[in-house]
Chains A and B, each alone.
Chain A
């Protein structure tokens, strides 16, 4: 082992920290949240359109955070972090999608309309 490998501060995961990246992540996410706030608090928007626009803003914000805060790239250091994350996305889709579908089907058969 050489000196570099023995000094924890020389580890690639320490050295990949980037102040400009963190500042950019902060600014972009903050601006997106302000846009979401201005848009989401307007009255009279169609529900479907409103929910879709807000979901897109949230996904864009989280994607940018994934790159700039979590360094999810294909670099040698981060490759397996990225792979683990990408493979988790279908699990999220299955969990959220199937649960909502099942409860939607349940609600159709059990709930009395208007009794909420």
Chain B
């Protein structure tokens, strides 16, 4: 046994880490955590697109993709979701200047366009369902419904999040908590545009 192991240790004087140099600010820690969450969410979409690539031509005697998909209508949906994402981005540009009314106005524009997108999707799927074109009809339709509706569900949650953030901005102003939530919502909403690129190109075209 060496003399080192017999030294008396004062628990109060032990320094296990250096809090000053290794600490992270609250906002950066939370946006990074949320970014990792979005990457795992992207993995879910990767799995769904893989299933579509495998089963997308299994029509089981039912309607084919060419018969039920309308690329022109999907292009309009694409431009609507891109414009909504642009509006939210412009809101985040207003955030850096602390312009509360501009932030709220741009969030409102993004919200309205998001609602328009969801409305177009509901209309399209209601039309399909009314003609008996339902997910259980074929593997193609199961995969198609799952991908598009999973994206649509993300849009709905994004809209709910926007509504909550508008209330928080009005009520609390730009506190730490409100700001990091807005930054995370920016990541979430911009993510919808990236996923929609895949939906439009790989499914509708």
**Interface residues, chain A, with chain B CB atoms under 8 Å away:** 5, 8-9, 11-15, 17-19, 21-23, 25-26, 29-30, 33-34, 36-37, 40-41, 54-55, 57-58, 61-62, 65-66, 69-70, 77, 80-81, 84-85, 88, 91-92, 95-96, 99-100, 103-104, 107, 116
Contact = CB atoms under 8 A, between A and B. Distances in A.
Given A14-B179, A22-B90, A99-B47, A69 B85 contact: yes
B187 interface: yes
A16 to B, nearest CB: 8
Contacts of A58: 197-198, 201-202
Given A41-B71, A58-B201, A61-B201, 19 more contacts: A9-B174, A13-B183, A14-B179, A15-B96, A17-B93, A19-B89, A23-B86, A26-B89, A29-B82, A29-B193, A30-B82, A37-B71, A40-B201, A41-B72, A62-B194, A62-B197, A69-B89, A84-B39, A116-B60
B25 interface: yes
Interface stretch (B7-15, B27-35, B142-150, B156-164): B27-35
Contacts of B180: 8
B95 A33 contact: no
A88 B50 contact: no
Main secondary structure of the interface of B (DSSP, over half): helix
The 5 closest A-B pairs by CB, nearest first: A22-B89, A40-B205, A8-B179, A19-B93, A26-B86
B190 interface: yes
A84 B38 CA distance: 11
Contact of A54 (B89, B90, B201): B201
B58 interface: yes
Nearest to B55: A103
B153 interface: no
Nearest to A95: B46
Contacts of B72: 37, 41
Contact of A17 (B75, B95, B205): B95
A21 B92 CA distance: 12
Contact of A116 (B59, B186, B187): B59
Given A13-B31, A17-B89, A36 B54 contact: no
A19 B97 CA distance: 12
B42 interface: yes
Interface string B80-101: 0011011001101101101000
